[in-house]
Amino acid sequence: MIDSEMRVDVNAVDWMEVLPFYIQDAKMLSGRWGACPFCSGEDTFRIVWRRKSDGNTGWYCAKCGTGGNPVAVIHEVTGKPYGEIYYELREKRYNQGKAPTTFHPVVSARSEMSPEQKRKILRATWDRGVSITEDSPVWKYLSRRVPGLKIEWLGPDVRYHPGLSFKSHDGKDEGKFPVFLQRLVGAGDKVARTLQRCYLTPDGEKVPFLNGKGKSAAKKQMSSPDGPAGGSTRLNNAVSRTLALTEGAETGYAVVAKFENRIEVRSLLDCGNLARADIDWSNYDRVIIFADRDREQERRGVSGNGSTTGATKVRPGEFHAGILAKQLQAIGKRVTVIASVVEGVDFCDIWSLQYARRAEVSASRARVKSRSGRSGTSKELQGGNSQLSSLRAQGGGYSTPGQTVAA
């Protein structure tokens, strides 16, 4: 494949020779299954050296459901801009003579514990968690992140843990910190499939630690026998025949706040787990899926044995939401997929904007009433209503392909 802008034939690159200039990771370079640099998959990713189908080198992740050429892997692991990578490939100045970057997985490698030992640790961690109170760091975090959320709406699968140890990507013990615990449960389960931890400061901010790629390391999934395996976190205590699904808990709580706890909301950690959602669908007539608008990734029809059927550009959040939507429609459910129109902006961000504008409109009405004793006639109020109507007309910054949801 020749990149039209950079004029580099990536298929002509001897990747077995070139990739070690950029990445230092024996397991990845061996072509064995291992941790994915793009998601939280622990043993789902591998480099496919010189595929049998076309002789080219690529990569595949069973959790992401995507694949591509090694340029994307270099970009993700090293943080180098694509333009710089293509320049070095074209000029054969691989990594400019610098030392290769050590790959640090998003999650630490699985320990050599038995499945029952892992389940025991999960149970003990959850049992030591307590209900979220207004003076807890968890509520400080949630109430700051999600305006309009009420503590009495919180569901049974979230707790506050007073202190869990935080280990950085290089194994350093940074001490104990308060944790927002989320329990992921599958249909018919009585125990957690895994726990998601969000480490916080006592003031309710995310801990400032970064992972090996310079991104926030505040969120960590606990090791479990089978991973999340489609498990979900029931975020609120509403019971309804309509179910809203999100990837992250913060986005889910924004939905809870927008609908004022009138519909049930569950989160599933990431888009790969969303597509595998294991929920008792008989409890619901309608499902609303809030899809994250991720950056585009190249997806190849690559199977585990290295065969390929071509490549397309997809946004993982929307792609996996579509997979689940088709499954639900096949069993007779009414499904709405709501996708952000701005890359990197999720519904939590949109809800914060909506909430602020609602507050502006309310303040305008209050000022009008205080001056005239009546409402609905001033230009100030009309302007505020116009802004809110415009926001609603735009779907609150979201597009709803094929269907719409009332604001």
- 2-102 — its CATH code? 3.90.580
Residue 137, both tokens: 């760091």
> Measured between alpha carbons, how far is 205 from 313 in angstroms, rounded to an integer?
35
Q: Decide: 39 and 270 in contact? Cβ < 8 Å.
A: yes
Give yes or no for residue 19 having a pLDDT over 70: yes
Amino acid at 87: Y
pLDDT band at 407 (very low <50, low <70, confident <90, very high): very low
Lowest-confidence pick of 26-40, 74-88, 198-212, 365-379: 365-379
Name the segment(s) of the chain with CATH classification 3.90.580: 2-102
Query: pLDDT value at position 46?
Result: 87
How far apart are the C-alpha atoms of 142 and 153, rounded to whole Å? 12
* pLDDT score of 253 more than 90: yes
DSSP string, 115-143: HHHHHHHHHHHHHT-B---TTSHHHHHHH
Q: Determine phi and psi for 180, rounding to 5 degrees.
A: -90, 110
User: For 227-236, what is the mean pLDDT?
Assistant: 93
